[in-house]
Structure 1
Amino acid sequence: MHSSTSQVRSSQHSVLLLIGILCTAASLRAPITALGPLLEPVRASFALGASAAGLLTTLPLFAFAVVSPFAAGVAHRFGLERVLFAALVLLIAGIAVRSAGTTFALYVGTCVIGSAIAVANVLLPSLLKRDFPAHVARLTACYALAMITAAGLASAVAVPLDQALGAGWPTSLGSVALLPLAAAILWLPQLRLRTTSAPGLATEAPGASVWKAPLAWQVAAYLGLTCFIHFAAIAWLPSILQEAGDSSARAGALHGWMQLAGAIPALLLMPLLQRMPDQRWISFASPALSALGLVGLLAMPSLAPLWVFAFGMGMGAALILSLAFVGLRAANQKIAASLSGMSQCIGYLLAAVGPTFIGFLHGSSGSWTTPLVVCAVLCIAMCALGLSVGRARHIGA
């Protein structure tokens, strides 16, 4: 009887934990992607140039790179659940500050948002490896699906919400705080149910070995190229489409369409990843599909919905793989935590230059042709890298 009651409680806790993880994941991209469709009114409010506006997408990525290496150590000291809850509270605060209506608050709030997301980015894969070791790939696809879907919906509704509220972009941009607020409320039971320690997250010895492992650098490079291209598109796709003649509402809708397209690979990969002998073919095909979408936007812009969808599918699959590689290429949870921090530090440092660099290329060339060609070439480089990082190997095995 006692055993049966314990099993029920354990099952209920697992379900509650999963719901908390998915709601937290839903909060990790929407605060960034909601800015893209509103970037033009934000630029107009503060008279920002292209590079300064690109910095609004770049700053969170710099924060990812700076904060990520410390997240595992902080969680080891204070506990995974408590640190994740603190990250959600910090995220809510950052969104509120960003929408305060001054240039200083805009950039400070953006940095706070990036720092909070960085912590959760690192700790969620480690949490999955610790509590659901037999289902890492499947659950990674689930939380990536939640993240991508929320990001797409936030983009799609940003402009209509701005127009409906009639209170200017700060209200529309601030409304995205509802996501981490809901996640924080759902996460409260975890603070009571779990201990304050997280013994699997000490990073001393494994951390050193991860930085010397060539496979870890390949994981970081794949993540970095994915995020370079993906966040450049998040920052500039609405502007690209508006320059081609689309309205701001249609550009925002296609911006959301691109991200929702990334949900399809999550659904398809969930049953496949765990059973694949390796991930080479999908690691190659994903960026290849994105390259096709970028070339299509250049060659036949009239079919933008098709090309945006193809690009979004490819990037969505690559993002899921980048996240899954942390668990799939690590021999244990301790190495997964170290690899997560290391790969996100290096990967997001590379990604951080994307939006600003692409904005600079557009400003210097006077068109979006050169930026689109550069991103297509990087997709092709990812195809080659995917054939290596996709092989079934383990760091620390």
Structure 2
Amino acid sequence: MVFKSTFARFLMNSNKPSSFKNPGAIWLLTGILFIAINLRPALSSIGPLVDAIKHSLQLSETLLGLLTTLPLLAFGVISTITPLFTKRFGIGKTLMGALILLSLGIFIRSTAGVFGLYLGTTLLGIAIAFGNVLIPALTKQNFPDKAGLITSLHSATMSVGAAVAAGLSVPLANDLNLGWRGSLATWGLLSLLALFIWIPQIKRIKRSKARRSFKAALKSLSGSRLVWQIAVYMGLQSLTFYVILAWLPAILLARGYDSEFAGWMLSLSQATGILGALIIPVWAGSRKDQRLVILTLVFFEIIGLIGLMLPDVGLTVVWVSLLGLVLGGTFGLALLLIVLRASDTETAAELSGMVQSIGYFIAATGPFMVGVIQEATQVWNYSLGLLIIIAAFKLIAGLGAGKPQKV
């Protein structure tokens, strides 16, 4: 009911430029969603193919974990300096350059050897970082009165891209005989399509003048406790998401399932993430205080993780679906908190950059750390137990970030 009533208010609001009845706003939103759908496939397509990549290139578990860690490190570095690019080139042109770089990174990763695999992965991580940071800023700038719904739409679209890529990776590689390289390269076509759709939208973006320097913004935000709470919440939710994204297929393979089932389970987690990404930001956006939403999500996340730790109980589909739902909703909520806590568009871009920079540096430790733990112990429950502890710390940070206040 919350989603339905919010969506109805969105459609009825025809007097503002951001309304769906404004053709320019519709096209701009379409461009945003095409960018959003490209922010996950290059990453989620790796997990189901990890076994093929491992044997093809003779990589260790630790090096395989690095394939997910490198983009997260790129997210951390680039997120901080993204405002430097937008202050000089504007949001629209910065995103255009990101889409070009994403296509290039996918091509290099798919066609070269081990060096190209890691170089391309780094480049596409840099490109995705720009999109991660700038879509919340675009939402604040062009759709300020519809932040909850727009965040739901774009985070759900990201989950769609992740689900499709995760589910099709193995069939593309095996059934169509593309191999793991051809399967990964396929997603470069999607990024090129987004580029052609985005270019005409650049002129539709509202512009605002910078009020302060990058250095002044960094100094101001770094002294805010609220900023750090949002950043830690973003980081811990991303850590769990990318651990599941990178290692869920391997966990299921160790439980005796085949690679195709493992790939479809990863796809299922991303598909239920779509539902979470649609519902949770709208629910949270309808409230001034988001702490109840955060508490509910952490509770169900722990239930899902405990379920995965008990393979004899079965119900793998249930636990994977629940985790996907929660993680999709948590990601959308983290992005919404950036929009809700920012006082204006410029602050939104700066806050998004700093929060995601800190957050992804935290998240980057996850897949690599799990790879090291698994290589040392060969027992997945140690890593799943770690994620439960992380969920408790996420709750502490989230209860601070969920209070109604502004940066």
Q: TM-score, normalised by structure 2?
A: 0.92
Aligned partner letter, 2:240: I
Instruction: Report the counterpart of residue 189 of structure 1 in structure 2.
Output: 200
Instruction: Report the counterpart of residue 377 of structure 1 in structure 2.
Output: 389
Tell whether the 8 Å contact from 2:277 to 2:332 is kept in structure 1 after alignment: yes
CA pair 98-200 structure 1, distance change in 2 beyond 3 A? farther
Tell whether the 8 Å contact from 1:203 to 1:334 is kept in structure 2 after alignment: no
Structure 1 CA distance for aligned equivalents of residues 308 and 265 of structure 2: 13
Aligned partner letter, 1:339: L
> Which one of 315, 330, 334 corresponds to residue 322 of structure 1?
334
Structure 1 CA distance for aligned equivalents of residues 298 and 168 of structure 2: 27
> Which one of 238, 261, 275 corresponds to residue 286 of structure 2?
275
Structure 2 CA distance for aligned equivalents of residues 145 and 8 of structure 1: 20
> Which one of 354, 359, 366 corresponds to residue 347 of structure 1?
359
CA pair 384-8 structure 1, distance change in 2 beyond 3 A? closer
The Cα of 1:333 is off from its aligned counterpart by 1.2
CA pair 198-159 structure 1, distance change in 2 beyond 3 A? farther
Q: Per-residue displacement from partner, 1:346-372 (whole Å, max 9, x unpaired)? A: 100011111010011111112101001
Aligned partner letter, 1:374: L
Give structure 2 stretches of 5+ with no counterpart: 1-14
Q: Per-residue displacement from partner, 1:158-209 (whole Å, max 9, x unpaired)? A: 1011112213110011101122111111112123445888647853433321
Q: Per-residue displacement from partner, 1:124-183 (whole Å, max 9, x unpaired)? A: 111111111111122111100000111011101110111122131100111011221111
CA pair 232-7 structure 1, distance change in 2 beyond 3 A? closer
The Cα of 1:7 is off from its aligned counterpart by 11
Q: 1:93 aligned to 2:110? A: no
Structure 2 CA distance for aligned equivalents of residues 264 and 297 of structure 1: 21
Count, aligned residues? 391
Tell whether the 8 Å contact from 1:258 to 1:313 is kept in structure 2 after alignment: yes
Among the aligned pairs, what percent are the same residue?
A: 34
CA pair 163-136 structure 1, distance change in 2 beyond 3 A? same
Tell whether the 8 Å contact from 2:40 to 2:159 is kept in structure 1 after alignment: yes
> Which one of 149, 165, 170 corresponds to residue 154 of structure 1?
165
CA pair 254-198 structure 1, distance change in 2 beyond 3 A? farther
Structure 1 CA distance for aligned equivalents of residues 56 and 245 of structure 2: 20
- Tell me whether 377-386 or 111-120 shows the greater mean CA deviation: 377-386
Q: Per-residue displacement from partner, 1:81-121 (whole Å, max 9, x unpaired)? A: 11101100100000000001400100000000000011111
Instruction: Report the counterpart of residue 143 of structure 1 in structure 2.
Output: 154
Cα-Cα RMSD = 2.0
> Which one of 22, 37, 43 corresponds to residue 26 of structure 1?
37
Tell whether the 8 Å contact from 1:89 to 1:184 is kept in structure 2 after alignment: yes
Q: TM-score, normalised by structure 1?
A: 0.94
Structure 1 CA distance for aligned equivalents of residues 135 and 18 of structure 2: 24
Give structure 1 stretches of 5+ with no counterpart: none
